[in-house]
């Protein structure tokens, strides 16, 4: 079962007041319903959603919807539930703000339909039940979207969502309009608005795990980068030492620098910090990282001079 399906089935079990049921049905019908041969049709691939819609109409309008199961046309291998409304059709279309008093399609529903915070949430649930999806947070990217056919409806839903500071974006697609969120925190807030509490807990647990994993990866990468830097620095120092030894230049170094040279050869993989501690412990003479670095600068300078002399004498 997909994450989106789990969310939809969870919110399809939320109990509602009468006005919230009407708002939810309106959000569903306005983004899902179509009229054919004077019959209002609704479709869903989810049996639990089909049951909720059917029970809602029975509670509010005291009618039994005709339900047919058809093969889905989108290759999803799921059955398609077709709910048909014949009785009280005109009353229902007006009551759910699909059409006005004259039977004309309403581009946006009136304010009274979503007059309270809970009615807004209910309307948004209805919209999500028919045209919403959210990526499982275990996937590589966070993404929530609503695919809406009509421009005015898309803008209306966007405004409702942004009442909750979701900063939802609107994008024109070939077949309609897409409202979407990519920020993990905002998607979590959206799930709370829908009332999908179990989905929120799952989302947050996965999000926290991913953030900790990413943090650990960043630390590991940083640590590896430091190791690579230490190895690179030590390798270069050993190359300079090799040049000095091949050119019989050890005697040109002072005793402290010779000491640093010998300890580098003895501990080729140690960082400057580690090497300074080793020298301090083994010799009983305190030397700082910067002091040791100064000695290696002398080694570098001598190696480069010897190398330059060799080139001039060739």
Mark whether 101 and 239 lie in a shared domain: no
In a domain, 250, yes or no: yes
The 3-state DSSP class for residue 107 equals coil
Range of the domain at 233: 219-313
Provide the pLDDT for residue 221: 78
Mark whether 150 and 274 lie in a shared domain: no
Mark whether 149 and 269 lie in a shared domain: no
In a domain, 100, yes or no: yes
Mark whether 35 and 100 lie in a shared domain: yes
Mark whether 184 and 229 lie in a shared domain: no
Mark whether 169 and 252 lie in a shared domain: no
Please name the helix (run of DSSP H) or strand (run of DSSP E) that holds residue 41, with its range, or none.
Answer: strand 39-44
Provide the pLDDT for residue 75: 55
Mark whether 110 and 51 lie in a shared domain: yes
Provide the pLDDT for residue 297: 92
Provide the pLDDT for residue 212: 78
Mark whether 230 and 115 lie in a shared domain: no
Mark whether 185 and 296 lie in a shared domain: no
Provide the pLDDT for residue 228: 79
Q: Is residue 68 a contact partner of residue 18, using CB atoms and an 8 Å limit? A: no
* pTM (2 d.p.): 0.70
Give how far the C-alpha of residue 31 lies from the chain's centroid of Cα atoms, to the nearest Å: 26
Nearest to 17 by CA among 56, 52, 63: 56
Mark whether 185 and 227 lie in a shared domain: no
Mark whether 137 and 87 lie in a shared domain: yes
Mark whether 39 and 169 lie in a shared domain: yes
How many independent structural domains does the chain possess? 2
Strands of 72-212 (E only): list them: 79-85, 132-134, 144-148, 169-173, 176-181
Q: Which residues lie closer than 8 Å to 130 by C-beta, 6 or more apart?
A: 27, 28, 31, 32, 44
The domain boundary, picked from 153, 179, 195, lies at 195
The domain boundary, picked from 145, 179, 195, lies at 195
In a domain, 205, yes or no: no
Please give the average pLDDT of every successive group of 10 residues along the chain, which has 314 residues: 92 93 95 88 92 93 88 66 90 91 89 94 96 88 93 95 93 90 93 94 86 76 80 88 87 89 88 89 89 90 87 74
């Amino acid at each position: 079962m997909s994450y989106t399906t789990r969310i939809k089935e969870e919110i399809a079990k939320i109990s509602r007041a009468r006005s919230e049921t009407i708002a939810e049905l309106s959000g569903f019908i306005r983004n899902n319903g179509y009229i054919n041969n004077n019959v209002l049709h609704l479709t869903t691939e989810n049996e639990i959603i089909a049951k909720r819609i059917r029970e809602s109409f029975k509670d509010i309008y005291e009618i039994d919807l005709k339900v047919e199961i058809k093969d889905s046309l989108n290759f999803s291998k799921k059955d398609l539930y077709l709910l048909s409304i014949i009785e009280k059709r005109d009353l229902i279309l007006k009551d759910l703000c699909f059409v006005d008093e004259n039977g004309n399609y309403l581009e946006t529903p009136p304010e009274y339909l979503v007059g309270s915070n809970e009615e807004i949430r209910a309307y948004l649930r209805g919209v999500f039940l028919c045209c919403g999806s959210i990526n499982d947070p275990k996937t590589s990217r966070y993404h929530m979207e609503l695919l809406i056919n009509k421009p005015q409806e898309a803008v209306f839903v966007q405004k409702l969502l942004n009442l909750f500071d979701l900063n939802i974006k609107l994008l024109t697609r070939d077949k309609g309009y897409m409202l979407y969120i990519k920020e993990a925190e905002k998607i979590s807030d959206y799930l709370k608005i829908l009332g999908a509490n179990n989905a929120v807990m799952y989302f947050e647990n996965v999000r926290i795990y991913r953030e900790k994993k990413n943090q650990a990866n960043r630390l590991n990468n940083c640590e590896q980068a430091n190791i690579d830097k230490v190895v690179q620095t030590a390798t270069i120092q050993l190359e300079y030492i090799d040049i000095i030894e091949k050119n019989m230049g050890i005697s040109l170094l002072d005793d402290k620098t010779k000491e640093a040279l010998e300890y580098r050869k003895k501990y080729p993989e140690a960082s400057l910090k580690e090497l300074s501690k080793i020298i301090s412990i083994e010799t009983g003479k305190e030397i700082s990282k910067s002091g040791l670095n100064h000695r290696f600068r002398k080694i570098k300078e001598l190696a480069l001079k010897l190398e330059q002399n060799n080139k001039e004498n060739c």
